Amino acid sequence: MAVKKAHQGTNSRASDTQIGEALRALRKAKGWTAVEVATEAGLSPPALLLKAEAGRAALTGAQLSAVLDALGANFQVLHLKLQGSDLDQAALTLLGTVAKLMEEVAG
């Protein structure tokens, strides 16, 4: 699946359920509804995010990236959540900002 391939760099393959739970935690830390995140990420239909959070649907790498962008996060932040890190919203925002700055400098 595309999500698993996009997430392969972590040396372990996360299940759709684990990825969905991590996305839900990131979304709730931001205080947004699934519809707000899906709309911001351009997911259609917005219910796709709810299905992904429940592990009943897999997002493509592009969709996952868009959701993470909408949440102010990135794949590194997702990896930390999958590893069980209990990050608060301030830490998530800071990590996302630092990662984006690093990408801009490198790119």
Query: pLDDT per residue over 31-86, tens digit each?
Result: 999 999 999 999 999 999 999 999 999 999 999 999 999 998 888 888 888 887 77
CATH number, domain 2-106: 1.10.260.40
**Quick one: pLDDT at residue 90?**
62
Q: How confident is the model at residue 92 (pLDDT cuts 50, 70, 90)?
A: low
37 Cβ contact list (under 8 Å, min separation 6): 27, 30, 49, 67, 70, 71
Higher per-residue pLDDT: 10 or 54: 54
Q: b or e along 21-54 (b: 16 or more beta carbons within 10 Å of the residue's beta carbon)?
A: bbbbbbbebbebebeebbeebebeebebbbbbbe
The confidence score (pLDDT) of residue 28 equals: 92
Q: Which two tokens stand for residue 72?
A: 């102010």
Neighbours of 83 (CB within 10 A): 11
Local confidence band at 5 (pLDDT 50, 70, 90 cut-offs): very low
Q: Please state the domain extents for the chain.
A: 2-106
